[in-house]
């Protein structure tokens, strides 16, 4: 079915079923275009709990839909493609974290929201790329900290807070596709462009950047900056999002190959099918949901 007809079918089904479509900033352009709300994973999950609709079609990856289900336990949260996972979130299991906690008894566990519900359930405080510094600073100086799964986000925040962290060795494969030479070449081609990169990149890329920001931060920064051209060091979907928001400005991907294959598993066909069947639902078992909710809420109390 042509894209335009699929989009019409989705809009009709959405109305009939009383559903709302949430989409992450990394989603493919056709999904961004039919979404009711776009944002980063935590903003969308928070939104899920406050929206009037009972049915949430979450266009993103598994841990994001799980977080929405944790924060909105009475709603039906549907992930149109259940195999859309996050390799970084899957790099640490609950068993791995338990073993690390045994090696560092008394340490405070901070986990990036890009982690599974089982891992969050063993966590003291979650964090995002936007509030990681504040979350680390909330821990008394005499307490050790376990941080995961992203070693690059952790190392960057450790440098800013001057704290030593026990880092888990996880990373985002998509952000590792960005390489310094490409950024240098783009800088030469676009003098005056601002290089903004996501803290999930490795230190070689971070060293090339003018500013490190999460996706929400990039949106705010690009909107308020006087600059007209930006080199964007994160997943490619963000370039579409920024270009649509600020058509008068120019956004250039730091790498055309920074594509998250899992984010791209969501298609219009799958969204339409999910609206027809109201499946597959993402469910988080009661005790896991309760414990992981506490770790997320502790983070929101900090900032
Ligand atoms: S871009 Fe990286 S961190 Fe985000 S979902 Fe894909 S693999 Fe996970």
The domain covering 89-171 belongs, at the CATH homologous superfamily level, to NadA-like (3.40.50.10800)
CB-CB neighbours of 145 under 10 Å: 23
Distance 11 CA to ligand 1 centre (A): 28
Counting from 1 in the atom list of ligand 1, the atom nearest the Cα of 85 is 5
| Average pLDDT rounded to a whole number, residues 210-214 | 97
This prediction's pTM = 0.96
Alpha carbon distance 235, 129 (integer Å): 15
Q: Is 115 in the pocket of ligand 1 (CB under 6 A)?
A: no
Distance 67 CA to ligand 1 centre (A): 15
Alpha carbon distance 138, 143 (integer Å): 11
| Average pLDDT rounded to a whole number, residues 36-50 | 93
Burial-class residue 210 by CB neighbours within 10 Å (0-12, 13-18, 19+).
Answer: middle
- Please report, in angstroms and rounded to a whole number, the separation of the first and last CA atoms in the chain: 45
Alpha carbon distance 145, 104 (integer Å): 9
Fold of 175-253: Rossmann fold (3.40.50)
Helical pair 41-50 and 62-71, crossing angle rounded to 10 deg: 30
Ligand 1: residue whose CA is nearest its atom 3 = 172
| Average pLDDT rounded to a whole number, residues 238-246 | 98
pLDDT category at 1 given cuts 50, 70, 90 is confident
Segments of the chain assigned to CATH 3.40.50.10800:
3-85+263-284, 89-171, 175-253
Tokens of 116: 């599974």
What's the DSSP call for residue 282?
A: P
Alpha carbon distance 66, 282 (integer Å): 6
Alpha carbon distance 157, 151 (integer Å): 10
3-state secondary structure of 127: strand
- Give every CB contact of residue 12 below 8 A, 6+ residues apart in sequence: none
Please name which of 118, 116, 147, 117 lies closest in space to residue 132, comparing C-alpha atoms: 147
Alpha carbon distance 190, 183 (integer Å): 10
Residue 2 has pLDDT above 90, yes or no: no
Q: Is 135 in the pocket of ligand 1 (CB under 6 A)?
A: no
pLDDT at 120: 98
| Average pLDDT rounded to a whole number, residues 104-121 | 98
The domain covering 3-85+263-284 belongs, at the CATH homologous superfamily level, to NadA-like (3.40.50.10800)
Alpha carbon distance 139, 125 (integer Å): 10
pLDDT at 210: 98
**Strand partners of residue 78:** 57, 281
Counting from 1 in the atom list of ligand 1, the atom nearest the Cα of 86 is 8
What are the phi and psi torsion angles at 99 (to 5°)? -65, -40
pLDDT at 42: 87
pLDDT at 303: 75
What are the phi and psi torsion angles at 244 (to 5°)? -75, -40
Ligand 1: residue whose CA is nearest its atom 8 = 86
| Average pLDDT rounded to a whole number, residues 192-212 | 97
The overall average pLDDT reported for the chain is: 97
């Amino acid at each position: 079915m042509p894209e335009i007809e699929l989009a019409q079918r989705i809009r009709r089904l959405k109305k009939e079923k009383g559903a709302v479509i949430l989409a992450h900033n990394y989603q493919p352009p056709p999904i961004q275009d039919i979404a009711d709300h776009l944002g980063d994973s935590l903003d969308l999950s928070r939104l899920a709990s406050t929206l009037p609709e009972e049915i949430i079609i979450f266009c993103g990856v598994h841990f994001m839909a799980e977080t929405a289900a944790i924060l909105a336990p009475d709603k039906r949260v549907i992930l149109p493609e259940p195999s859309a996972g996050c390799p970084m979130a899957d790099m640490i299991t609950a068993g791995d974290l338990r073993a690390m906690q045994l090696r560092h008894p008394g340490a405070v566990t901070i986990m990036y929201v890009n982690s599974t519900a089982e891992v969050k359930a063993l966590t003291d405080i979650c964090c995002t790329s936007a509030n990681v510094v504040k979350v680390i600073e909330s821990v008394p100086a005499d307490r050790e900290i376990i941080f995961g799964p992203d070693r690059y986000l952790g190392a960057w925040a450790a440098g800013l807070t001057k704290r030593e962290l026990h880092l888990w060795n996880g990373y985002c494969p998509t952000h590792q596709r960005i390489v310094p030479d490409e950024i240098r070449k783009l800088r030469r081609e676009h003098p005056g462009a601002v290089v903004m990169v996501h803290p999930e990149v490795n230190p070689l890329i971070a060293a090339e950047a003018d500013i490190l920001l999460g996706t929400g931060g990039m949106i705010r920064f690009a909107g308020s900056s006087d600059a007209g051209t930006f080199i964007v060091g994160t997943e490619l979907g963000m370039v579409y999002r920024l270009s649509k928001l600020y058509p008068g400005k120019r956004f250039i991907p730091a790498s055309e190959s920074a594509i998250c294959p899992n984010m791209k598993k969501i298609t219009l066909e799958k969204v339409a099918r999910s609206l027809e069947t109201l499946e597959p639902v993402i469910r988080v078992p009661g005790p896991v949901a309760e414990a992981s909710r506490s770790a997320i809420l502790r983070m929101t109390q900090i900032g």
